């Protein structure tokens, strides 16, 4: 499955990235490369990866050279093997050199998130569980990192604090307990997409079930304890109206165990806060 991103919607953000990198100007390029020199660049995958951000990559160079011409061969969401070339760019040599780092950093970062997400999605295939991201994103890059999760086959959780109610441990403590927090959260019905509460013990789970929240988050439980929790939720909610989410301490090594325990969602902060950038090069030649 391939994806297409409207990179023009991110032009102002890309301009800030370029301004950060260019500073007072690319002194090396401006003193060594003629302003009239044209060049072509090729993006080359150096490792297996899921592509994400190729339109952004091209947009960086369009900002520096309105005549830049991109040939996109592979789309976001497609898997590349080492040596494959997803895109080529023809533009001013100065534009290619000055925009290279910003364009490549974004492409490597987003493709890294998509690649890591795809690994988790494949690990739970056939279980019915969905892999979700979290708000553990890079400030300023949340929309793009969450897009990369979708490209990798994952699902987006809350985009921001205003989308849904998610009562966590500190909320529970400050509100006066599970029941008090859930009772107070009912005032958000109608403007919150859902009401969710995090529980860490079976006692907290039983207390939460009395209030029938939309989603119950089982936090930092072992797969065996999650299985017990799922059984208790389903016994109380045979029509499966309550979604069950697992989070905390989940890795590629144990994610299938959580999925097989019967949860609907598995949220993984590592998709965005720890995904390694993938190895991609950008080789530039004079025309």
> From the centroid of its chain, how far is CA 204?
30
Annotated catalytic residue, options 38, 40, 46, 101: 101
Exposed (0-12), middle (13-18) or buried (19+): which is 260, by Cβ within 10 Å? Answer: middle
Q: What is the 3-state secondary structure (H, E, C) of 106-139?
A: HHHHHHHHHHHHHHHHHHCCCCCCEEECCCCCCC
What is the rounded end-to-end Cα distance, in angstroms, of the chain? 34
Helix (H, G, I), strand (E, B) or coil at 157: coil
76 is an active site residue: no
The rounded radius of gyration (Å) of the Cα atoms in the chain is 23
Q: Is there a catalytic annotation at residue 101?
A: yes
**Which of 76, 78, 198, 264 does the annotation list as catalytic?**
198
Question: Is position 198 annotated as part of the catalytic site?
Answer: yes
Residue from 11, 15, 122, 168 carrying the catalytic annotation: 168
Round to whole Å and give the CA distance between 85 and 80.
8
Q: Residue 269 CB: number of other CB atoms within 10 A?
A: 15
For this structure, is 256 an active site residue? no
Q: Comparing C-alpha atoms, which of 271, 265, 113 is closest to residue 194?
A: 265
Distances from the Cα of 51 to the Cαs of 99, 106, 173, 200, in angstroms?
19, 11, 42, 37
Q: Residue 103 belongs to what H/E stretch?
A: helix 93-123
151 to 71, 148, 284: CA distances (angstroms): 20, 5, 28
The answer to whether the beta carbons of residues 281 and 86 sit under 8 Å apart is no
Catalytic residue selected from 46, 90, 135, 136: 136
Instruction: From the candidates 78, 219, 245, 264, give the one annotated as an active-site residue.
Output: 219
**Distance between CA atoms of 277 and 88, rounded to whole angstroms?**
20
146 belongs to the catalytic site? no
Which residues belong to the active site? 101, 136, 168, 198, 219
């Amino acid at each position: 499955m391939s994806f297409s991103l409207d990179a023009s919607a991110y032009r102002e953000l890309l301009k800030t990235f370029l301004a950060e990198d260019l500073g007072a100007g690319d002194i090396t390029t401006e003193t060594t490369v003629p302003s009239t020199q044209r060049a072509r660049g090729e993006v080359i995958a150096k490792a297996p990866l899921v592509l994400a951000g190729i339109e952004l990559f091209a947009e960086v160079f369009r900002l520096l050279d309105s005549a830049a011409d991109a040939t996109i061969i592979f789309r976001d969401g497609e898997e590349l093997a080492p040596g494959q070339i997803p895109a080529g760019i023809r533009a001013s040599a100065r534009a290619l050199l000055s925009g290279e780092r910003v364009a490549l950093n974004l492409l490597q970062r987003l493709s890294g998130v998509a690649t890591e997400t795809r690994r988790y999605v494949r690990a739970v295939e056939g279980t019915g569980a969905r892999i979700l991201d979290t708000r553990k994103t890079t400030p300023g890059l949340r929309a793009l990192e969450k897009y990369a999760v979708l490209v990798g086959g994952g699902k987006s959780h809350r985009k921001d604090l205003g989308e849904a109610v998610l009562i966590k441990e500190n909320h529970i403590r400050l509100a006066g307990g599970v029941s008090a927090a859930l009772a107070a959260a009912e005032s958000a019905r109608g403007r919150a997409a859902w009401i969710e509460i995090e529980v860490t013990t079976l006692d907290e789970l039983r207390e939460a079930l009395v209030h029938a929240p939309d989603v119950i988050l089982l936090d930092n439980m072992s797969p065996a304890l999650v299985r017990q929790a799922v059984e208790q939720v389903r016994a109380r909610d045979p029509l499966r109206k309550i979604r069950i989410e697992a989070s905390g301490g989940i890795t590629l090594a144990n994610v299938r165990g959580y999925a097989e325990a019967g949860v609907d969602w598995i949220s993984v902060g590592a998709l965005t806060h720890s995904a390694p950038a993938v190895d991609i090069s950008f080789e530039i030649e004079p025309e």
